[in-house]
Amino acid sequence: MSDKDAGTPRVFLVRHGETEWTISGRYTGRSDIPLTANGEHQVSSSAAVIKALEGNSEITEDIREWEYGAYEGLLTAQIRAARKEKGLDKERPWNIWVDGCEDGEPAAEVAARLDRVIAKIREIQGPYMHGEKGVDVVLIAHGHILRAFAKRWIGFELSMRLPMMLEPGAVGVLSYEHHKVDEPAFLLGVNMGGNE
């Protein structure tokens, strides 16, 4: 954050640690897959970074992973092959951001629940755009939903192409430009020493 934006509230996106399914690229929604040893290390490292942000906590189902339905546990290639057998996607390959998931969630439902989370965060952070009170937020979730959250944060439709990655156990950061709640932005190059 530039000096002129110092003190602006942030939203930390924390992805869960590595599992066997994240290694293989399988869609993991509600399945409870244990972390690998590396995944446990990743989470420990990320926890050290966000420990200073401890405060009130709240759990919301609105930040849960995309409901993959029939695609839970499958690879993208398997999903596309199954859809092709059903005569779907004749003009272009399946794209979760556009097509959603069979027996799961369409993109519009995912966007609607993420927009509720964003509205609540902006309600909390809006009055404190110059750092008058510590109102940083930490979201801990799966990778796909956090990438969807980042798109919605900056006002993109989920169908808009925005290549981005968030490694297992990693921390991403969002904030606002010019201390304005209506100017959400990605925050690159975070100084983890804090806002002083």
* CATH number of the domain to which 160 belongs: 3.40.50.1240
| 28 labelled ligand-binding | yes
Give the per-residue pLDDT at 59.
82
**Burial track 95-112 (b if 16+ CB lie within 10 A, e otherwise):** ebbebbbeebbebeebbe
| 65 has catalytic annotation | yes
The count of structural domains within the chain is 1
Express each pLDDT in 102-150 by its tens digit: 999 999 999 999 999 999 999 999 999 999 998 999 998 998 999 999 9
Q: Minimal CA–CA distance to 179: which of 140, 135, 149?
A: 135
Is 80 within a domain? Answer: no
Is 83 within a domain? Answer: no
Is 194 within a domain? Answer: no
CA pair distance 37, 192, nearest whole angstrom: 25
Q: Which residues of the chain register pLDDT less than 70?
A: 1-6, 27, 45-46, 48-56, 189-196
Is 76 within a domain? Answer: no
| 41 has catalytic annotation | no
- Domain range for residue 35? 3-66+105-186
Is 86 within a domain? Answer: no
Of 41, 54, 61, 65, the active-site residue reads 65
Contacts of residue 189, defined as CB under 8 A and 6 or more positions apart, other chains included, come to none
Is 100 within a domain? Answer: no
Is 94 within a domain? Answer: no
**Which H or E run contains 185?**
strand 184-186
Is 55 within a domain? Answer: yes
Give the per-residue pLDDT at 195.
46
Give the per-residue pLDDT at 192.
53
Give the per-residue pLDDT at 190.
55
C-alpha pair distances (Å), 85 with each of 44, 92, 102: 43, 14, 14
